[in-house]
């Protein structure tokens, strides 16, 4: 099946998720009153129907015998009956005008039941909170129609969910919380793999060519799984392309050394034969520069190709010892001072040679452009080691150059580079070495004067 023919599963998940969530909440809230009504209302049982008929016969005889007056006390005695459970039952006689003729106090529950019975047009029962009302049974007396209703003090246990039907504000609050929970689960289901994709993309952008999306995300049967698979394929292609590029640069650099060595040999033979001139001196100088540039290119390629080898847990001061001694000697030869502030107890996983070369390049660069003083200091936090190299030179005039100076062959048009004979590879090697440690390197102009290069290396 081609990609274009696959259904939009993310759209379907979102649609079904939110639709089912809202439908479920609406159905629960809407069905509660119907369930309550269905539970509370029921057809008139046979034993209650017999009670109504029995009382109706008594009342009918009484009404026939007392055509002029209604004896309330007599009505009470006639309607004093107990049900099959020996519970007292109270009856209400209603005339054709809807008036209760045997009681002056009519409860609100009875009035509600009379309306419900009129709507139902059949005898029925309805369970209120603390009483059961049933009826009506209609009978004729003295040429008029009467109705009789029964009222039984009774409390039947009700299903627990009817509590929500009687507490509408609480039910609404719980419905909102349930809806939020269901939507949150859906959002988590969709958001978790997207966060994994973002983290992998960030790692790849930061130079970690081994970063891939986990297999669980790839195995998803939706567009996110397809995207994860495409991302990993893209990352494989990028890693292979960059490694091929670095190998090509390394191979070319190696191959260039052969004709360069022959050129230097020919120059040495010419000088030996007394054929030295200004031109041969110039050729010799350029050959030396070309040799140094090829060495830098090989170093840059080596750092990038070996960026994923195993690290060694070593002391920072230990691996930088020789580099710091050489830098101190070079600064002294140029009449400048080097201040070193590194705690010998600091240890972290690192690649010794690339990091040493990075610090060496940064220190030599700082000593070259410093007026009188260079400082290297190391501080630490819970998660990282911070290395700062600060000089009191002219800094970099153009702020845009502060990020670009770490690119290969980039040389800013500033006071720091006008007299330089470099090729812009030293800082690129430093940046590649820091990236191999999954760290970061940033250059900024010092507050007073000079340049501050900060390296942040993770402890893990």
261-276 pLDDT per residue, tens: 888 788 788 878 777 7
Q: Identify whether 254 is a catalytic site residue.
A: yes
If you average pLDDT over residues 236-265, what whole number do you get?
Answer: 77
Contact in structure between 166 and 145 (CB atoms under 8 Å): no
Structurally, at CATH architecture level, domain 209-304 sits in Orthogonal Bundle (1.10)
**Tens-place pLDDT, residues 389-436:** 999 988 888 777 787 888 877 766 554 444 444 556 778 888 888 888
Which H or E run contains 426? helix 426-436
| Active-site residue, from 155, 254, 308, 437 | 254
Q: Measured between alpha carbons, how far is 144 from 150 in angstroms, rounded to an integer?
A: 20
Instruction: State how far the Cα of 336 lies from the Cα of 332, in Å rounded to an integer.
Output: 5
pLDDT in tens, 301-347: 677 666 556 678 888 888 898 999 999 999 999 999 999 998 888 88
Asked whether the predicted pLDDT for residue 68 surpasses 60, the reply is no
pLDDT confidence of residue 4: 43
Written out in words, the top-level CATH class of the domain with range 44-162 is: alpha beta
| Both tokens assigned to 78 | 């006639």
Classify residue 44 by its DSSP letter: P
**Domain range 309-458, its CATH number among 3.30.565.10, 3.90.245.10, 3.30.360.10, 3.40.50.510:** 3.30.565.10
Over range 16-28, report the average pLDDT: 71
Of all residues in the chain, what percent are helix, strand and coil, respectively (each to 5)? 55, 20, 30
Nearest-angstrom CA–CA distance, 98 and 112:
13
Decide: residue 252, CB within 10 A, 0-12 exposed, 13-18 middle, 19+ buried. middle
Query: Is 70 exceeded by the pLDDT of residue 32?
Result: no
For the chain, give every domain's residue range.
44-162, 209-304, 309-458
pLDDT at residue 418, as a whole number: 44
Residue 283 CA to residue 388 CA, distance in Å, equals: 39
- The Cα 197–Cα 239 span in angstroms is 17
Spatial contact of 388 and 443, defined as CB atoms under 8 Å apart: no
Q: What is the pLDDT of residues 347-383, one digit of tens each?
A: 888 888 888 888 998 998 899 889 999 999 999 888 8
Asked if pLDDT for residue 226 goes beyond 70, the answer is yes
- Secondary structure (3-state) at 99: coil
pLDDT at residue 308, rounded to an integer: 55
């Amino acid at each position: 099946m081609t990609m274009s023919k696959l259904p939009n599963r993310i759209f379907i998940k979102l649609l079904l998720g939110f639709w089912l969530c809202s439908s479920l909440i609406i159905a629960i809230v809407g069905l509660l009153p119907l369930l309550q009504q269905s539970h509370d209302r029921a057809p008139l049982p046979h034993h209650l129907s017999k009670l109504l008929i029995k009382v109706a016969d008594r009342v009918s005889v009484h009404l026939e015998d007392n055509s002029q007056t209604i004896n309330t006390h007599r009505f009470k005695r006639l309607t004093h009956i107990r049900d099959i459970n020996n519970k007292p039952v109270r009856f209400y006689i209603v005339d054709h005008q809807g008036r209760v003729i045997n009681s002056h106090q009519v409860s609100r529950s009875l009035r509600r039941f009379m309306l419900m019975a009129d709507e139902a047009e059949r005898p029925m029962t309805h369970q209120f909170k603390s009483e059961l009302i049933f009826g009506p049974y209609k009978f004729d007396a003295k040429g008029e129609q009467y109705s009789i209703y029964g009222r039984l003090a009774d409390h039947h246990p009700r299903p627990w969910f009817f509590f929500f039907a009687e507490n509408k504000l609480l039910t609404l609050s719980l419905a909102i919380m349930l809806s939020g929970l269901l939507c949150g689960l859906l959002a988590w289901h969709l958001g978790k793999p997207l966060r994994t994709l973002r983290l992998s993309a960030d790692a790849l952008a930061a130079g970690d060519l081994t970063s891939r999306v986990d297999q669980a995300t790839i195995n998803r049967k939706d567009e996110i799984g397809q995207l994860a698979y495409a991302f990993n394929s893209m990352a494989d292609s990028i890693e292979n392309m960059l490694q091929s590029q670095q190998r090509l640069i390394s191979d070319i650099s190696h191959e260039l050394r052969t004709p360069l060595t022959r050129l230097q040999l020919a120059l040495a033979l010419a000088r030996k034969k007394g054929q030295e001139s200004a031109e041969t001196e110039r050729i010799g100088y350029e050959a030396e520069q070309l040799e140094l540039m090829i060495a830098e290119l090989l170093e840059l390629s080596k750092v990038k190709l070996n960026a994923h080898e195993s690290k060694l847990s070593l002391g920072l001061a230990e691996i930088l010892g020789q580099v710091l001694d050489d830098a101190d000697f070079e600064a002294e030869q140029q009449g400048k001072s080097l201040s070193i502030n590194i705690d010998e107890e600091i240890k972290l996983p690192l690649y010794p040679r690339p990091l040493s070369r990075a610090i060496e390049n940064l220190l030599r660069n700082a000593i070259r452009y410093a007026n009188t003083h260079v400082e290297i200091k190391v501080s630490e936090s819970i998660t990282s080691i911070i290395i700062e190299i600060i000089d009191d030179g002219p800094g970099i005039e153009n702020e845009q150059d502060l990020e670009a100076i770490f690119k290969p062959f980039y040389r800013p048009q500033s006071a720091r580079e006008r007299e330089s004979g470099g090729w812009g590879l030293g800082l690129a090697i430093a940046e590649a070495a820091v990236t191999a440690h999954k760290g970061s390197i940033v250059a900024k102009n010092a507050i007073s004067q000079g340049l501050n290069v900060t390296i942040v290396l993770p402890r893990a």
